[in-house]
């Protein structure tokens, strides 16, 4: 097929990024916004030798799995990729995404996966779940400030203050900020020129405590007339923290390196289960608290703690999983590369009166191997040990040196929490080639309406 050619196809599969897949005379086309079962008219936008990418022009016969999106901007916005797919079908897609990667990249047998895979943990209400949102600001053609989300694969802002995945108070906060900018003549940042003041606004909301944080990321050091904005924002019930984060670099990085309190305190608090956390503008904290509790409870169940175990929690962030584990373990050691996160982890341990959790700053792939070597030197060649190692790495997965050290330490159980099924499958293949057995796999839908899926895996040592 050629670029700009039209075709009518039936969608028979879903790609890893949520795009519909169909064929025209044996030629494979990937179609964004199409759902399995759709009969659709499409236009080829990019043609390669054996496959191409097409734009959905018209749905001629809708799939039984197609639903009306809750958000009017669902197709344009880059935030949701599969909002037009029924939630039941979304969950089935994500289960298959995890399974497909384990089979294709991990080399795991399908019959074995039938035995170890547990049903995906979904949500009762797959909307309004985000406790954190970052909104970019810009200017429309009439010169008015706007905010919303970027269109897919662009930095063009779709003006929308009412995101279907966010909490209702987001809209009220954004409207107040936009009105303030208009009345005070405060400009929005322009990525092309590097001029303008308001770059982004970060909003955090405590689902349990109902506390609210607003952090304005600015291209400067202060906001003229900020007291007027503070007056309006503090009238909102639950407002707890108003801060600014200066970021004067011409970069796509959203937050600055520091923040300054304009009103209230520099953090909000919230709970996952019975554990209380302090969350600053720069803290990493899972954005879906309902599913986070399910995710961490699953990790805790797989860890199988009885009360006296030594546990390492690698890539621990602000100690969210570590403190969950510490309630059941003998001793927990957490490792994270971000110093601010470790400060938060130690603070959160103190807040919860948890004394059996210790935290280290550094790369997990450096800290654990160094600990292993130092222990051997100090204990006449004895092997450092752990009963359980928990890893929750970034999208790129675990470093090879870290995997090798896990194998050397030979913990009885490894609990792997993953945000990327592909790198998960790669790392599991390594560990299962070194004496570990794949015991249980459970996907968790942390991000409904998107293609992303988290997975919790239990490995046991058999060698």
**Model confidence pLDDT, tens digit, residues 105-133:** 999 999 999 999 999 999 999 999 999 99
Looking up tokens 């998960």 gives 424
What are residue 168's phi and psi, to 5 degrees?
-55, -30
pLDDT confidence of residue 97: 95
In this predicted structure, the answer to whether residue 463 has a pLDDT above a threshold of 80 is no
User: Average pLDDT in the 90-107 region?
Assistant: 97
Three-state SS for 137? strand
pLDDT-based confidence at residue 153 (cuts at 50, 70, 90): confident
* Spatial contact of 66 and 86, defined as CB atoms under 8 Å apart: yes
pLDDT confidence of residue 368: 92
Three-state SS for 146? strand
Cα dihedral across residues 15, 19, 25, 27: positive or negative: negative
pLDDT confidence of residue 154: 87
For strand 331-336 and strand 357-361, is the pairing parallel, antiparallel, or unpaired? Answer: parallel
In this predicted structure, the answer to whether residue 416 has a pLDDT above a threshold of 80 is yes
Rg (CA), the chain: 24
User: Average pLDDT in the 197-220 region?
Assistant: 98
Q: What average pLDDT does the structure give for the chain? A: 95
* Spatial contact of 165 and 177, defined as CB atoms under 8 Å apart: no
pLDDT confidence of residue 456: 98
* Cα–Cα distance measured from residue 339 to residue 359, given in angstroms and rounded to the nearest whole number: 10
β-strand partners of 443: 455
419 is catalytic: yes
Region of poorest pLDDT, from 148-152, 341-345, 388-392: 148-152
pLDDT in tens, 394-412: 999 999 999 999 999 999 9
If phi > 0 it is left, if psi is from -120 to 50 it is alpha, else beta; for residue 166 that is: beta
pLDDT confidence of residue 459: 98
pLDDT in tens, 234-273: 999 999 999 999 999 999 899 999 999 999 999 999 999 9
pLDDT confidence of residue 382: 87
β-strand partners of 41: 8, 58
Within 8 A by CB and 6+ apart from 392, the residues are 313, 314, 315, 316, 317, 321, 417, 418
In this predicted structure, the answer to whether residue 16 has a pLDDT above a threshold of 90 is no
DSSP one-letter string for 350-415: HHTT--SEEEEES-HHHHHHHHHHHHHHHTTTPPP--SEEEE---TT---HHHHHHHHHH--SEEE
pLDDT confidence of residue 430: 98
* Spatial contact of 417 and 427, defined as CB atoms under 8 Å apart: no
pLDDT confidence of residue 155: 87
* Spatial contact of 416 and 428, defined as CB atoms under 8 Å apart: yes
Q: Which of 205, 206, 200 is nearest to 174 (CA)?
A: 200
Three-state SS for 97? helix
pLDDT-based confidence at residue 319 (cuts at 50, 70, 90): very high
* Spatial contact of 391 and 416, defined as CB atoms under 8 Å apart: yes
């Amino acid at each position: 097929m050629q670029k700009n050619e039209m075709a009518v196809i039936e969608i028979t599969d879903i790609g890893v990024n949520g795009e519909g897949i169909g064929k025209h005379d044996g030629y494979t086309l990937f179609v964004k916004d199409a759902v399995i079962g759709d009969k659709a008219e499409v236009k080829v936008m990019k043609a390669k030798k054996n496959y191409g990418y097409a734009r959905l022009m018209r749905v001629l016969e809708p799939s039984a799995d197609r639903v009306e999106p809750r958000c009017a901007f669902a197709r344009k916005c880059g935030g949701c990729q599969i909002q037009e797919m029924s939630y039941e079908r979304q969950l089935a897609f994500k289960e298959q995404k995890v399974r497909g990667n384990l089979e294709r990249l991990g080399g795991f047998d399908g019959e074995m996966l039938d035995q170890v895979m547990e049903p995906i943990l979904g949500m009762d209400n797959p909307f309004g779940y985000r406790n954190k949102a970052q909104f970019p600001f810009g200017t429309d053609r009439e010169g008015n400030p706007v905010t919303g989300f970027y269109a897919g694969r662009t930095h063009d802002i779709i003006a929308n203050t009412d995101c279907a995945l966010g909490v209702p108070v987001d809209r009220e906060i954004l409207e107040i900020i936009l009105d303030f900018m208009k009345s005070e003549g405060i400009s929005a940042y322009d990525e092309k020129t590097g001029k303008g003041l308001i770059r982004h606004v970060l909003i955090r909301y405590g689902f349990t405590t109902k506390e609210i944080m607003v952090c304005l990321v600015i291209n400067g050091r202060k906001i003229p007339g900020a007291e007027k904005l503070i007056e309006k924002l503090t009238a909102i019930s639950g407002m707890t923290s108003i801060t600014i984060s200066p970021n004067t670099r011409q970069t796509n990085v959203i937050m600055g390196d520091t923040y300054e309190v304009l009103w209230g305190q520099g953090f909000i608090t919230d709970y996952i289960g019975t554990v209380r956390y302090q969350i600053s503008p720069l803290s990493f904290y899972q954005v879906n608290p309902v599913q986070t509790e399910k995710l961490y409870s699953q990790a805790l169940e797989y860890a199988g703690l009885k009360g006296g175990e030594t546990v390492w929690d690698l890539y621990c962030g602000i100690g969210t999983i570590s403190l969950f584990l510490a309630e059941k373990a003998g001793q927990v050691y957490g490792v994270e590369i971000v110093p601010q996160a470790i400060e938060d982890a130690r603070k959160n341990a103190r807040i919860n009166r948890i004394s059996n959790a210790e935290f280290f700053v550094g790369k997990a792939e450096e800290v654990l191997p160094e600990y292993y070597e130092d222990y051997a030197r100090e204990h006449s060649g004895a092997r450092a040990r752990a009963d359980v190692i928990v890893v929750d790495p970034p999208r790129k997965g675990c470093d090879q040196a870290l995997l090798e050290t896990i194998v050397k330490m030979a913990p009885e159980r490894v609990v792997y929490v993953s945000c990327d099924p592909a790198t998960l499958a790669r790392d599991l293949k390594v560990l299962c080639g070194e004496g570990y057995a794949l015991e249980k796999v459970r996907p968790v839908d942390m991000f409904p309406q998107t293609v992303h899926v988290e997975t919790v895996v239990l490995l046991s040592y058999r060698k």
